[in-house]
Structure 1
Amino acid sequence: MSRIGKKPVPLPQGVSASISGQSVEVKGPKGTRSFRATDDVTLTVEENTVKVTPRGTSKRARQQWGMARSQVENLVTGVTTGFKKELEIQGVGYRAAMAGNVLKLSLGYSHDVNFDVPEGVTVTTPKQTEIIVEGIDQQLVGQVAANIREWRKPEPYKGKGIRYKGEFIFRKEGKKK
């Protein structure tokens, strides 16, 4: 029995869900998101909640039960509050700035890195050393943040690079004379 799958997903005020076949569409104040579940689960809307139940007792049905419920909950969270990833830049001369729909990063290379922000995600830079990635799609927000971080991962000796806010970087001791 899936402990996650058993819980129904509550729909807050102002959020509506409609089911057609195996796909669920959730509309809220921030936008509309949809998800297509596998044939191993059944989706139903009852009294401002979305319930996910498995079809049968096979291992795959039980796996998809909790996964489908988590996906529906992420849809509801996305259209109500949205998702957010915060990055911080450490290093002398390392900075970020937004210019239209392009994130300009100075990361110690001989040239500036221009990162085109994809559709459905907003990137802001409140300070030169902070980047905030926001959107209603959790997967897309995480992927954009990972792509930005990929340009200069934090290195273990001086800790320079782009890191997630609150991320711990294990520091190494340099060579000795």
Structure 2
Amino acid sequence: MSKIGRKPIDLAGAKVTIKNNTVEYQGKVKSGTHILPEQLKAYVEADKLFIQKNDSGKHELSDREVNTLWGLHRALISNEIKGSQAPFERKLEINGLGFKAALAGQKITLTLGYTHKIDFELPQDVTLEIDKTGQKLTFKSSDKELVGFVTSQIRSFRPPEPYKGTGIKFADETITRKAGKTKSS
């Protein structure tokens, strides 16, 4: 039995309707659908959504594979319903002399110490807030996977280095610093 799959999903004000294997949800920010595989079924009870194994049909998957599908789809539906109520937020910090970001429309221009500036086009569903120094970036989206993907792509332009600590890092990330070369006597 899947430990994640059997946990109920709190709807917290979102409206959910279930038709066959399609879960339709509507929240304050976003609405959408999620299609469950034939091995799973969903039902709503007391303002909570439950996902269960569907034992009615024969399928070629093993019990272990069905359990992994169960946990995966429960987590995906949970993230979609949470994102429909309030957007997910991810913060980045830029450290370094002269390192900064600027936003023009849906395009970010990053100055990261290279000979050229880096332009990055934001997807439609992602919004960005930059503080006045240009070094603290806050990304928001109702899609958790998309926000994580965009922030990891931007971080990859200049990952933090361990000697000076310069580069782009997540706000909750800690950089283990290394000692530089010392003069021997």
TM-score after normalising by structure 2: 0.88
Shift of 1:126: 2.1
Q: Deviations over 1:70-117 (max 9, x none)?
A: 111111110112211000000000011111111111100112111111
Quote the residue 2:58 is aligned against. Answer: none
Question: Which consecutive unaligned segments of at least 5 residues does structure 2 have?
Answer: 56-61
Task: Determine the structure 2 residue equivalent to 1:85.
Answer: 90
Aligned length: 176
* Structure 2 residue aligned with 1:100: 105
Match of 1:151 in 2: 157
Structure 1 CA distance, aligned partners of 2:34 and 2:182? 55
Distance (Å, rounded) in 2 between the aligned partners of 1:170 and 1:106: 24
- What is the match of residue 172 of structure 1? 178
Query: Counterpart of 2:17 in 1: which secondary structure?
Result: strand
What is the CA–CA distance in structure 2 between the aligned matches of 1:175 and 1:105, rounded to whole Å? 30
| 1:66 maps onto 2:71 in alignment | yes
Paired-residue identity, %? 35
Which runs of 5 or more residues in structure 1 are unaligned? none
RMSD: 1.6
Counterpart in the other structure of 1:41? 40
Offset, 1:29? 0.7
**Greater C-alpha radius of gyration:** 2
Deviations 1:36-94 (A, max 9, x none): 22222112233432110013481112222222211111111101122110000000000
Distance 1:138 1:19 in 2: 23
Q: 1:135 aligns with which of 135, 141, 163?
A: 141
Distance in 2 between residues matched to 1:63 and 1:116, nearest whole Å: 35
Q: Secondary structure at the match of 2:73?
A: helix
Match of 1:125 among 117, 130, 135: 130
